[in-house]
Amino acid sequence: MSSVHTKRFCDTATKAGKRFYSLRGNSENYVGSKAQRGCTWSKLSLKGQILEPHLGLAGFVRSSSGTIPGLGFPNQNQEKLTPMEFGNFKDAFKPKRTSDILRALSILQLSSYDTVVNNAEKIIELGRKLFGRRFFDFLLKNSVYKQFVGGNEFREIKECVGRLHEAGIQTMLAVPIEEDLDEKTGNKNPSTTYEKNLQLLLQCIDLEHTLQPKFPITQIRVTAIASASILAKVSQLCPNPAHTCSTIDDIANAMKTGERLTMEGLTEDESTELNEVIKRLVAIAETAKKKDVMIMVDAEYTYFNGATKLFVLCLMLRYNQDKPLICFTYQNYLKATLEKLKQDVEFINSRDVYFGLKLVRGAYMYREREIAKAKGCSDPVHDTAQDTSNMYDQSVNFLIERIASNKKCAFMAASHNEETVKHMMKKIKEYDINPGGGQIFFGQLYGMCDHVSYTLGKAGFPIYKSVPYGEIDHTLPYLVRRAQENRSIIPGARREKELLKKALWHRIS
């Protein structure tokens, strides 16, 4: 168990939260272009912008029934909670143009080939050499990029968000920046890069606040503002944070008071880096609190998750007293997830604060198995996809039961699996929970699983699309990585492709 000692240091976190251009009240702002390490963003005009009324988390008032009124989602009629028909392609794709359906069908078909996915970067490089960078990038932007990315300029992002809102779908904006242990950034001053990335994340929070009037949510990756090495080191020292309550208390207290932390097992330089990471996290949380934006912190590789979860649990103690502002992500493809989820929820709720989370299946299966095999460790991933589905359902059951018993909890079920969505709806009805109450959300990736998203949106359920944005050069590497990590999802898109084919044939026949 790592011991943490504190001494006073200058708290600059709140200052960092003020060093970005606000999207509100200014005619010109930095909204987006290069979403990558060490890159700046282009200046974009917001003249003539009409801002919609913002509801946010301000109306977060807990009622005796376990719902949270005033969040902008319509109350659901329980009769609607019978298993929905996700195969109604006419209704599901009605808001889409025929060109959108054709593009989606083509891209999903192309993505189903392992050869294409595994060699995507080489294909892009070759295409640029053969056809010229400008022309090939034009093709990419009107195909893969347009399918999975919300845009780069403010106008593009706003139009994307507007189209989804018209279909009853909310947006969860994301800046695609991250780092892994084996990556060589080539940056001589990584601290400066992480500070620039911090500004990008703060701008993303502000953009979400501006464009998402109903319960705004954004997502971040801690590897955008912290080196992979420090996260791996802290994870080794604190692999299961819920078992080190004193460490969590010390860090949460330092987040409040601005005291300097030293963790046993870290060098002086590593301790300095740890304190810089904590200041950046506090800057994000302070901005989220000010803007009323919920933060979903993504889980990544298991060798990072100990540190990431440690930081998030500390932020929960500091900022989740009145509402689930800070949330963590739980990957159900890992065998230990449900046990750790229960431990973490019990720990946070025992402090009388809200526990917020996002449930996912998980995207790093192949990498995790390779690492475990190389180290001679047992495989942390479930043996079968059905085992993962079973644990996902068990996690949903656990969380629904807590919400029904008026525990301080809120979660997003981020799944592309129709059966998982139907199971969640079944449990919501069984426990007579209002899905529009602000404690339960559905989520899918932008550009995928649209037949589920649009059906839920039409029925008035709180459904979110995770929408990355930024320049093509810096979103494509992110998309390639996601495609390679989500190879287990791509075959599951077979159902969506069948529905898209039917919708296309219906349009042209």
Q: Is the pLDDT of residue 51 over 90?
A: no
User: Based on the structure, what is the number of domains in the chain?
Assistant: 1
Q: Any idea what the CATH number is for the domain that residue 288 is in? A: 3.20.20.220
**Per-residue confidence at 52, pLDDT binned at 50, 70, 90?**
very low
Q: Is the pLDDT of residue 41 over 50?
A: no
Give the C-alpha distances (Å, rounded to integers) separating 265 from 6, 279, 387. Answer: 15, 20, 37
pLDDT of residue 203: 96
Give the C-alpha distances (Å, rounded to integers) separating 195 from 140, 225, 280, 326. Answer: 30, 7, 8, 20
pLDDT of residue 325: 97
Q: Is the pLDDT of residue 144 over 50?
A: yes
Is the C-alpha dihedral spanning 145, 150, 153, 158 positive or negative? positive
pLDDT of residue 183: 56
**Closest C-alpha among 226, 294, 282 to residue 255:** 282
Asked if residues 500 and 169 have their Cβ atoms less than 8 Å apart, the reply is no
| Residues β-bridged to residue 357 | 328, 411
Task: List, for residues 63-97, the tens digit of each pLDDT value.
Answer: 434 444 334 454 454 445 455 778 888 888 988 99
Task: List, for residues 253-287, the tens digit of each pLDDT value.
Answer: 999 998 998 888 999 999 999 999 999 999 999 99
Task: List, for residues 399-445, the tens digit of each pLDDT value.
Answer: 999 999 999 999 999 999 999 999 999 999 999 998 888 899 999 99
pLDDT of residue 4: 52
Which percentage of the chain shows pLDDT scores above 70?
79
pLDDT of residue 38: 36
Instruction: Specify the pTM.
Output: 0.84
**Per-residue confidence at 191, pLDDT binned at 50, 70, 90?**
confident
pLDDT of residue 432: 92
**Per-residue confidence at 473, pLDDT binned at 50, 70, 90?**
confident
Range of the domain at 409: 4-508
Range of lowest pLDDT (70-79, 222-231, 455-464, 483-492): 70-79
Asked if residues 447 and 150 have their Cβ atoms less than 8 Å apart, the reply is no
Return the CA Rg of the chain.
Answer: 22
Range of lowest pLDDT (231-235, 246-250, 284-288, 429-433): 246-250
Asked if residues 206 and 291 have their Cβ atoms less than 8 Å apart, the reply is yes
